[in-house]
Amino acid sequence: DTGVSQNPRHKITKRGQNVTFRCDPISEHNRLYWYRQTLGQGPEFLTYFQNEAQLEKSRLLSDRFSAERPKGSFSTLEIQRTEQGDSAMYLCASSVFRGGPKETQYFGPGTRLLVL
């Protein structure tokens, strides 16, 4: 029984470079979420998918950010032309959504991005 996995765990890049992160959710989880967490703060919602459909994007997600979930399985989050302000922990979570008030999200270990 594997949990949510994220790769890479750490990424150091230079300003202006593109980076891509991958999230593998728990098998058969139909929802997948991306959050961003900066030091000393709680996670902030970025976007989420139900199966392969991207249902919502936060205003935090500028045009430089794009996320996909082809075939409703793994997801990728790409940041183009990285800026120092993009430095953060990027967290992925998955869940089984059947409607109702009891959806529990399971988080991966995160990808820590440092933009120099």
Residues that bind another protein (CB under 8 A): 4, 31, 33, 35, 40-45, 48, 56, 89, 91, 93, 95, 97, 101-110, 112
Grouping H, G, I as helix, E, B as strand and the rest as coil, residue 17 is: coil
- Residue 20 CB, nearest distance to another protein (Å)? 19
Residue 16: Cβ-neighbour burial (10 angstroms; 0-12, 13-18, 19+): exposed
- Residue 63 CB, nearest distance to another protein (Å)? 20
Query: Which of 17/51 has CB closer to another protein?
Result: 51
Residue 54: Cβ-neighbour burial (10 angstroms; 0-12, 13-18, 19+): middle
Query: Which of 25/108 has CB closer to another protein?
Result: 108
